[in-house]
Amino acid sequence: MSSSGRYKLIYDKLYELYGDCSCPLVHDTPFQLLAAVMLSAQCKDERVNMVTKELFALAPDAKTMANLPVERIREIIHPCGLDNAKSRNLHASAEKIVDDFGGVVPQTMEELTSLPGIGRKSANVILGNAFNIPGFPVDTHVTRLLNRLGMVKSSTPEKIEAEVCRAVPPELWCNFSHLLITHGRQVCPARKPDCDHCPLNTVCKFPGGK
């Protein structure tokens, strides 16, 4: 079976299990998604959603976030961890969005990654979930699963993204990432993957596969 065929099989099996997935980060606008994605680094989505509820009540858009003192942002987002760096990046990104993009979150990879604290993974999340522009975010779950499945042999997100995007149709990229992340959390965690109940065990290269 070709690489594209194996990816399609994996996608179909996961889609049967989870269907169309949505971003678990609560947001009403592209800017709010950008802020939530930034806060989600090394922090669980549930905690981010608790914190952004308070944060967005004070600063729901780039202009109000840029006008909010960095120290106040830091106080609010402290439960998310890495609050010093995250507060600085969030404030600086809000200022840049206001100054360089008229207060509107940009819609290209180059422009998004020019914002402080936004890398390719974060940009792909924003493109796919806020603008429905094809993007394939690669996080630790995606990296782990695709290596275990034998689809890639790399820990470099950019290489994994490029390989998947060559083999998978663009319209599937965003949901495929969601499917892999969901499966990584529910069935195939880093420790003790539940291979016996995994729908991918017949195509998986991991020792627990069949």
- Catalytically active residues are 121, 139
What are 176's two structure tokens?
Answer: 């495929």
Q: How far is CA 148 from the centre of its chain?
A: 20
**Which of 115-119's residues contact partners 24+ apart within 8 Å by CB, and which partners?**
115/34, 116/88, 116/89, 116/92, 117/38, 117/85, 117/86, 117/89, 117/90, 117/92, 117/93, 118/34, 118/37, 118/38, 118/93
What are 52's two structure tokens?
Answer: 């952004």
